[in-house]
Amino acid sequence: MTEQDYIDYFTDLATKNLAIGHTPDRPRFYVIHDNNMSELTNAMRNLRVPALLIDQYYDDIDRTQDNPRLRISGGLNVLVKCNTGDTKDVRRAREEARQIARQFLNRMFNDSRTPGSVLCRQGRAVTVSTQYQGEPMADMQNYAGWGYPFEWTVAQNVAVVNNEWDDLRPKPAPEPEPVPAPQPAPVLSQD
């Protein structure tokens, strides 16, 4: 699974989820790059709420078992509008965000077990983590949110492909030595 697969999956879910309803005309989905909050603050000018924000894709390869795995770490956050000066309204917004975020967790879990879904394709099945520690998003003026980090595990091919390495790729067979043309037999004189 690539970073683009990860982004495409959540873009699709943000479009299908009724609470978010992301469309190009009503953007409600954003990928946070390198935890850059100033970039997110700028994006908020065009983003509608509630909105789904996903953390940047990170991965590592686990070779501690016989079947190596790609471990993808990510996170999803839902942002809801509120009056940040009103503690009760912030709690209300966080609860709304928590409920929407859980819809996405449940969908991921379901997709990882539904044959033919994006997360459960032959040869590329994703195992979704089963424990999620929710946490409030950092407060932003007029917005509150809730997020969950998660981990996906995917079988990883670690075979060395010989054609990718100059010293391992098959060398062409040497050209055969040219065979000299046959010489005519000497003519013996009968003298």
Inside any domain, residue 170 = no
What Cα–Cα distance (Å) separates residue 78 from each residue in 50, 53, 127?
Answer: 7, 6, 23
Q: Is the pLDDT of residue 75 over 80?
A: yes
Inside any domain, residue 174 = no
Read off φ and ψ for residue 13, nearest 5 degrees: -65, -40
Inside any domain, residue 104 = yes
Q: How many CB atoms lie within 10 A of CB 84?
A: 15
Instruction: For residue 51, give both structure tokens.
Output: 């909105």
Determine the structural domain holding residue 121 and report its residue range. 3-161
Inside any domain, residue 23 = yes
Give Cβ neighbours of residue 123 (< 8 Å, ≥ 6 apart): 155
pLDDT digits (tens, 9 = 90+) for 13-66: 999 999 999 998 999 999 988 766 777 777 777 888 999 999 988 888 888 877
Pairwise CA distance, residues 108 & 104, whole Å: 6
CATH (domain of 126): 3.30.70
pTM here is: 0.79
Inside any domain, residue 130 = yes
The predicted pLDDT at position 122 comes to 57
Q: Is the pLDDT of residue 124 over 70?
A: no
* Number of independent structural domains in the chain: 1
Inside any domain, residue 99 = yes
Inside any domain, residue 71 = yes
Evaluate whether 58 touches 74 at the Cβ level (below 8 Å): yes
Read off φ and ψ for residue 128, nearest 5 degrees: -100, 140
